[in-house]
Chain A
């Protein structure tokens, strides 16, 4: 199967790979996994006092499409409010990366990673 140029670009030059300090109180984490292919994705967001996403990092074990989807998401969420980030849809990711139907689940995983990270934010701030 041929990967699109955008997928290859993100796969070869992934943006924002790595981790933030877990003890930093402005950092929230979303962990998700896809049993069908065994992919594991970690997305961390650094969210400031005004609810703006300052920075994002990811670590993904999976295929090229999963890595590209999470890499793209870290670029997209930066500078966004929580509500804006919440509105990112897997279809936007799949369209941007020209993912074939069999790889749509990679974009779903990336959307779920954003949701999981924002849930972590809510659980930390509703206390």
Chain B
């Protein structure tokens, strides 16, 4: 299923999210069960399937990592079901340090500043990867796409860190 086609977008990483939300509402309305109250069982079933696709498509396209993964899968690289091990030592050392720093929040004298600092580091790093990724993702060269796959994997680690940071923040207040 090509979600970009479903939402009438070109399969590109940069995407107008306001327009996406607008098209989502239109598509939702078109397949709403109320419209099929008097339809045949088969048409009802198709409408329900279509509604599920519209929801999945919207959730995929609005989420930057899932959108990038979808683009790669359309180009023949399926990352969503992989169980690849990342072995980039330098990157993983940095991940380890950040995880340790997250643990230190509770014992910190100034936990709010500590959180603020980590927020900065995480968003800076994430923004860096995203900007590199957006330059390569619309390419068709296999090497570029393999690099993009690596960047998506890194973004997943960063998303995990940001989740953990949000959790540490919730635990404080």
A108 touches B83 (CB 8 A): yes
Contacts of A56 in B (CB 8 A): none
Assess the A31–B85 pair: CB atoms within 8 A: no
* B40 at interface by CB-CB < 8 Å: no
| A109 located at the interface, meaning its Cβ lies under 8 Å from any Cβ of chain B in the complex | yes
Query: Quick one: which of B148-163 are within 8 Å of A by CB?
Result: 152-154, 156-157, 159-161, 163
Main secondary structure of the interface of B (DSSP, over half): helix
| Residue of A36, A42, A116 ringed by the most chain B CB atoms within 10 A | A36
A45 at the A/B interface (Cβ < 8 Å)? no
B96 and A32: CB pair below 8 A? no
Distance in angstroms between the alpha carbons of A38 and B84 in the assembled complex: 12
- Contacting residues of chain A (15-52) with chain B, CB-CB under 8 angstroms: 29, 31-38, 40, 42
How many positions in chain B have a CB within 8 Å of any CB in the partner chain?
22
Contact of B156 among A31, A35, A59 (CB under 8 A): A35
Judge whether B82 and A36 touch: CB under 8 Å: yes
A-B contact count (CB 8 A): 55
Whether the pair A40, B85 counts as a contact (CB closer than 8 A) is no
* Number of A positions contacting B (CB below 8 A): 18
Question: Which listed residue (A31, A38, A105, A116) contacts B83, Cβ 8 A?
Answer: A105
Report whether A33 and B83 are in contact in the complex, using a CB–CB cutoff of 8 Å: no
Q: List B residues 127-148 near A (Cβ within 8 Å).
A: none
A65 to B95, CA, bound (A): 19
B92 touches A (CB below 8 Å): yes
A34 CA / B157 CA spacing, docked (Å):
8
User: How many angstroms between the C-alpha atoms of A42 and B95 in the bound complex?
Assistant: 11
Could you tell me if B96 and A38 are in contact, using CB atoms closer than 8 angstroms? no
Does A32 lie within 8 Å of B160, measured CB to CB? no
A61 located at the interface, meaning its Cβ lies under 8 Å from any Cβ of chain B in the complex? yes
Could you say which of B86, B152, B159 contacts A33, with CB atoms under 8 Å apart? B86
B83/A40 in contact, CB under 8 A: no
B117, CB-defined interface residue at 8 Å? no
On whether the beta carbons of A40 and B82 are closer than 8 Å, the reply is no
B95 contact set on A, CB distance < 8 A: 33, 40, 61
Taking the closest CB of chain A, its distance from the CB of B64, in whole angstroms, is 15
Contact check, B156 vs A36: say whether CB atoms are below 8 A apart.
yes
Which residue on chain B has the smallest CB distance to residue A33?
B86
If A31-B89, A31-B96, A33-B86 are given as contacts, then 8 extra A-B residue pairs at C-beta distance below 8 Å, sorted by A number, are: A29-B89, A32-B85, A33-B85, A34-B85, A38-B156, A38-B163, A40-B95, A42-B92
Top 10 A-B pairs ranked by shortest CB distance? A38-B160, A35-B153, A31-B92, A33-B86, A112-B85, A35-B156, A61-B99, A105-B83, A31-B89, A40-B95
Interfacial residues, chain A to chain B (CB-CB below 8 A):
29, 31-38, 40, 42, 59, 61, 105, 108-109, 112, 116
